Amino acid sequence: MPQLRTALAQTNPTVGDLAGNSTRIVEWARRAADAGAHVAVFSEMTLTGYPVEDLVLRPAFVEASCRAVDELAGRLQQAGCGEVLIVVGYLDSDEQGPRNSVAACYRGEVVGRQAKHHLPNYGVFDERRHFVPGRNLDVLRLHGVDIGMVICEDLWQDGGPVSALAAAGVDLIVAPNASPYERAKDDIRLPLIAERAREAGVPVAYCNQVGGQDDLVFDGDSFVTDGAGAVLARAPQFTEHLLVTDLELPSTGGTGGTFRGLEVRRRELSGQPVAPYEPLRAPEVREPLSDHAEVWSALVLGLGDYVRKNGFDSVIFGLSGGIDSAVTAALAVDALGPDAVHGVSMPSGYSSEHSKADAAELARRLGCGFRSEPIDAMVRTYVEQLGLTGVAEENIQARVRGMMLMALSNAEGHLVLATGNKTEIAVGYSTLYGDSVGAFAPIKDVFKTHVWELARWRNAEADKRGETPPIPENSITKPPSAELRPGQLDTDSLPDYALLDDVLDDYVEGDRGFAELRAAGFDPDTIDRVVRMVDAAEYKRRQYPPGTKITFKAFGRDRRLPITNAWRELH
């Protein structure tokens, strides 16, 4: 049987950085060559970064991508990678329009170009707006092995390009992907790819992007299956990695032609089998992370990449002593290191002593920057000059805090983080231009009950390592409060968080209506109360900063509802 060593390079590109991404590709290709790989596969649109969104509509960007891929082929040859078939995702274009494509580079030239056929247009994807679908499938014969290529969504389609490649008689399918992370994604992704491998009867090498891009985060988790769908090798999650695998592939000697409307083009690159080589001692198979570890890693990577890729070195946010700011602080320290994290306690006349003490203790445990800036005098000026009472007096406290954080950001160059969670954002339990200020919201897609779970998990992990748990127990166990008036508790304005999160999970993520929510066992008055709060808060959500997506349906590009909207769920 012909042998072939494959390398999957799950790397972290930056959207728009063609020069930097090209250099990164050359560096990782060189590692693949040094590892003895015959084929190296990079992720979907790794040359441009993904998703590029409306950059596709700029002709100069499209032209730059087309030039860059041809230049890249020459650079790979110069770097000593010419004998490795390198599959790279990029943005291509022809007379019909832009295409989400891959280029196969070999011996200094692009020997194959293929565009994505199935363009997803659901959830976070909007590819029908940006691309035109592909028209062909390229099969490249390397060392007697016929290699077919598919791009991301092409793998998800029953009877699609994979079936055409199977009919054409390929021996290996390589699949560049940019598949965003969400909780339990692997429960869907791995079985589906295994099914496609069984459909084709050949191994599938699935290479996924890693890294944060605005509100999306990509988990890597690249893998290789055999023709029966069994996992042969698997990369770690949430880190750049080169997964090298040896394959023995029976050459089927397929032919070209047209299958199910797709033209299969073949090109022979090197017909001779590879010289015998020392096989790897054992394939690398990394176990997937636990649910909490996976989510924490996603939030850390998403936050860290947002900060670094946007040119910041440090972050600043309010430390209230509560659970949300505590988890945000722990995430920030894990993502950026304690020296880059700055917490600000901004007590008012209603702030409790335990909240101030908990904030200081959290900063001590994390080793991050901490200062206290009382807001009483500033609040008093607004209250007295404008005669504020009630909600207006409460909210001016939050807005003074927001103004202070933005002032410190301007003065010291920190990026401001908003610390709100998904539950609060869903029901509008936040103050516009107050606690909602910031450039990024790390736990925006984390329900309140999940915030508590993550805090307990992070402390338990620290215990396992013999470290001091970062989050004070009091911040986890005390009743949550905004402390904007004497004795205030969140439950004064909201249902119990466990109940509230259950309703929100069905209404926001499940799009269930009143009848379905009632059939699920929720009290009609609770349903009506929660639904009204959610619907009335759309204008606030539109002005909330982006945050890492971890659920099936996050606020933002996943859920696009009109602000001006007279529709209401009825009893």
Has residue 525 been placed in a domain? no
Q: What is the pLDDT of residue 372?
A: 96
Has residue 314 been placed in a domain? yes
Residue with tokens 């994290």: 341
Has residue 155 been placed in a domain? yes
CB atoms within 10 A of CB 119: 21
The alpha carbons of the chain give a radius of gyration, in whole angstroms, of 26
In 95-155, at which residue ranges do the beta strands (DSSP E only) sit? 97-106, 109-115, 136-142, 145-149
Instruction: Provide mean pLDDT across the span 49-68.
Output: 96
Instruction: Provide mean pLDDT across the span 189-216.
Output: 95
Has residue 541 been placed in a domain? no
pLDDT-derived band at 126 (thresholds 50, 70, 90) equals confident
Has residue 108 been placed in a domain? yes
| pLDDT above 70: residue 257 | no
In degrees and rounded to multiples of 5, residue 509 shows phi and psi of -85, -30
Whole-angstrom distance, CA of residue 147 vs CA of residue 20: 28
Does 260 lie in the same domain as 308?
no
The string of pLDDT tens digits covering residues 412-434 is 999 999 999 999 999 999 999 99
Whole-angstrom distance, CA of residue 238 vs CA of residue 241: 9
Q: What is the pLDDT of residue 483?
A: 67
Specify the CATH number for the domain of residue 369: 3.40.50.620
Please tell me the pTM assigned to this model.
Answer: 0.94
Q: What is the pLDDT of residue 254?
A: 66
Specify the CATH number for the domain of residue 262: 3.60.110.10
Q: What is the pLDDT of residue 260?
A: 65
Has residue 218 been placed in a domain? yes
Instruction: Provide mean pLDDT across the span 493-499.
Output: 91
Does 155 lie in the same domain as 65?
yes
| pLDDT above 80: residue 253 | no
| pLDDT above 90: residue 531 | yes
Q: Please give the structure tokens belonging to residue 331.
A: 């995430």
Boundary of a domain, candidates 490, 509, 542: 490
Boundary of a domain, candidates 490, 508, 543: 490
The CB-based long-range contact list for 563-569 (8 Å cut-off, 24+ gap) reads: 563/538, 563/539, 565/535, 565/538, 568/531, 568/532, 568/535, 569/513, 569/514, 569/527, 569/528, 569/531, 569/535
What percent of the chain stands above pLDDT 90? Answer: 78
Does 319 lie in the same domain as 230?
no
Does 264 lie in the same domain as 317?
no
Boundary of a domain, candidates 461, 490, 519: 490
Let me know if 75 is exposed, middle or buried by CB neighbors in 10 A (0-12, 13-18, 19+). Answer: middle
The crossing angle, in degrees rounded to 10, of helices 323-336 and 448-464 is 50
Instruction: Provide mean pLDDT across the span 262-269.
Output: 83
- Of the listed 66, 81, 105, 152, which one is catalytic? 152
pLDDT-derived band at 17 (thresholds 50, 70, 90) equals very high
User: Which amino acid appears at position 335 of this protein?
Assistant: A
Does 263 lie in the same domain as 132?
yes
Has residue 516 been placed in a domain? no
- Of the listed 66, 105, 116, 394, which one is catalytic? 116
Does 342 lie in the same domain as 266?
no
Cα dihedral: 364, 367, 368, 371 (round 10): 30
CB-based contact 10:209 (threshold 8 Å) = yes
User: What is the domain extent for residue 17?
Assistant: 3-271
Instruction: Provide mean pLDDT across the span 344-368.
Output: 91
Has residue 384 been placed in a domain? yes
152 is catalytic: yes
368 is catalytic: no
Does 475 lie in the same domain as 340?
yes
Please tell me the total number of residues recorded for the chain in this structure: 571
Does 311 lie in the same domain as 219?
no
Instruction: Provide mean pLDDT across the span 502-509.
Output: 93
Question: How many distinct structural domains can be found in the chain?
Answer: 2
- Of the listed 44, 127, 394, 483, which one is catalytic? 44
Element (H, E) at 335: helix 323-336
Instruction: Provide mean pLDDT across the span 370-380.
Output: 95
Q: Please give the structure tokens belonging to residue 560.
A: 């696009």
| pLDDT above 90: residue 562 | no
